[in-house]
Homo-oligomer: A and B are copies of this chain.
């Protein structure tokens, strides 16, 4: 039912041979430093067999590139790049700053990260750095500049890849000082901060910027404003660490795109919608957490979200798993064929290619059982044959970037706020958004603060934070004749996680023609009556007492606390869902709304 438009793809390989390959990229993370050079030749042969045309090198290689503070060993990487070039394979050259070497941690213990409990983490894993520590930032600049100086003119260089999966959180004194500076920049006055954080509650009024701490371990519930701002600060602190490297790179190689790979999950304090403006091409890592069809749904959403970050331009699937999925409690081998299904699903959603992590499964290290192209069993495997077959298929696949008439609003800040303290129940924001996306099948993804003029229908699931400006955007969308679908927990707060008064959903009450007086998180499902449905559906997770203020009831609670009261309402083209529908009912309802409003 949804129409798609094909657009042209940018970032083709430039005249001098640098930039991403024309057509679709195919390859993955390549870590030759984990193997003797004798293996490299076999790698090249297997890559050609598989149709690989692009690999990422250098991720996590800091201790191999700079084994001691004053010793740089770049020759091996030069040989790798030469070899790749000789085999017609482009290189995404990564800076290795996601994992400082042990010598760095020993020299600069103050640059090791600290948990909210005050535990200073040690190295021996990855991401063991404080993004605000001066010593770390300086060391990152040094290794970055060294790589740039050496390889800026290498013909294999297709793209720069800064760091890896930015997402580290730190509560050390450097972070605390940086957080205070960030807050000063944001609020200017303590009065403004005290107001935004409602510090009058529980007597938390600040009289000096230096009284403010990161949300470390405290007695009981933390301040939700402080918690939310800390996540915002983390995103910005990491972004600054990225930008310092990007700028250094851009100055040297303005013709080569620069990016970093986005990792996505509830633990990641990164506003990727904001970051996407700082990369030359959006690159994502995608690892579904479910087996079977659930993985397909997650893949579809991830692809649409990436295209959203890219604002409709092409993007790149930078990491994905050829086989094993980490489901809760165990890894799960993907069913035969699913590798292609997921890869092509991403290409169909705008990915400029398909990249795997990693090329060759390592013998040791923490991720020695992580999925790979060339596994412990070698290349005479189902997985490698599937990779080869996909490579052939991709050579004849025309990259395209779809566009949909329906958009879903995604907001990292609402996600963060819904992970904060003191909520009525545990809310899985991502599950809310994915459920709405699954009900639609496919959609564009948009972000608060940006226009929605291009869309016929805008779907707003659990948009907990909503500022006046974006409420106005949504209001105008309806006035303009657009359809709006809003779910519970939307519009409840302003941008500071302060509740909007007068009844939920705050600034959307007027456009939705309702006023929600109170809510009831559900321990068990309740039945819902739809006029057109023969049998009742069920509502789950949440329910609300809705007062109609212009809207009409499209479905009614048949049980529970609000028996006989509206569960789903419509006010012209503005719909409101006060409970979570099951997958089929949600899909039927979305189809009905989209069809009704066409």
Chain A positions within 8 Å of B, measured between CB atoms, are 31, 33-34, 60-64, 67-68, 96, 99-103, 105-106, 113, 115, 117-128, 168, 196-208, 210-213, 215-226, 291, 323-324, 327, 329-333, 335, 361-370, 375-378, 380-383, 421-426, 496-504, 515-521, 523, 545, 561
Contact = CB atoms under 8 A, between A and B. Distances in A.
A323 B124 contact: no
Contacts of A521: 330-332
Contacts of A330: 424-426, 521, 523
A202 B99 contact: yes
Given A198-B364, A502-B378, A518-B375, A60 B124 contact: no
A125 B222 contact: yes
30 contacts: A33-B200, A34-B201, A64-B203, A101-B205, A102-B206, A102-B207, A102-B211, A105-B211, A118-B120, A123-B213, A124-B223, A126-B203, A200-B365, A202-B366, A223-B365, A224-B368, A225-B364, A327-B523, A329-B425, A330-B424, A331-B424, A331-B425, A332-B521, A333-B519, A368-B498, A368-B499, A369-B423, A375-B517, A376-B504, A382-B517
A367 B205 contact: no
A275 B375 CA distance: 38
Contacts of A366: 201-202, 220-224, 421-422
A67 B196 CA distance: 17
A501 B516 CA distance: 62
A449 B521 CA distance: 45
A113 B219 CA distance: 8
Contact of A362 (B61, B198, B370): B198
Given A34-B201, A124-B223, A369-B423, A363 B333 contact: no
B426 A329 contact: yes
B517 A381 contact: yes
B118 A204 contact: no
Contacts of A128: 218-219
The oligomer's copy count stands at 3
Interface of A, helix, strand, loop or mixed by DSSP: loop
A504 B34 CA distance: 20
List of 10 A-B pairs having minimum Cβ-Cβ separation, nearest first: A198-B364, A201-B365, A63-B205, A221-B366, A330-B425, A102-B211, A125-B218, A330-B521, A99-B203, A377-B503
Contacts of A102: 204-208, 211-212
Given A118-B119, A213-B122, A377-B502, A365 B168 contact: no
Contact of A504 (B377, B517, B523): B377
B67 A382 contact: no
Contacts of A378: 501-503
Contacts of A198: 34, 362-365, 368
Nearest to A381: B517
Nearest to A68: B207
A212 B123 CA distance: 9
Contacts of A101: 203-205, 207
A120 B219 CA distance: 10
B219 A127 contact: yes
Contacts of A96: 203
A123 B496 contact: no
Nearest to A127: B219
A428 to B, nearest CB: 13
A563 to B, nearest CB: 11
A276 B249 CA distance: 60
B31 A333 contact: no
A184 to B, nearest CB: 16
Contact of A377 (B206, B381, B517, B523): B517
Contacts of A115: 217
Contact of A199 (B63, B120, B196): B63
A561 B197 CA distance: 53
Given A125-B221, A335-B561, A377-B516, 18 more contacts: A60-B201, A61-B200, A96-B203, A101-B204, A103-B207, A106-B208, A118-B120, A122-B217, A124-B222, A124-B223, A126-B203, A198-B368, A222-B366, A223-B366, A330-B424, A330-B425, A378-B502, A382-B545
Given A364-B225, A377-B502, A503-B377, A31 B201 contact: yes
B499 A376 contact: yes
A500 B502 CA distance: 62
A587 to B, nearest CB: 26
Given A103-B211, A207-B68, A366-B422, A122 B218 contact: yes
A10 B78 CA distance: 68
Contacts of A504: 376-377
A383 B332 CA distance: 50
B211 A106 contact: yes
Nearest to A100: B203
Nearest to A168: B219
A262 B377 CA distance: 39
Given A101-B203, A117-B117, A518-B375, A363 B34 contact: no
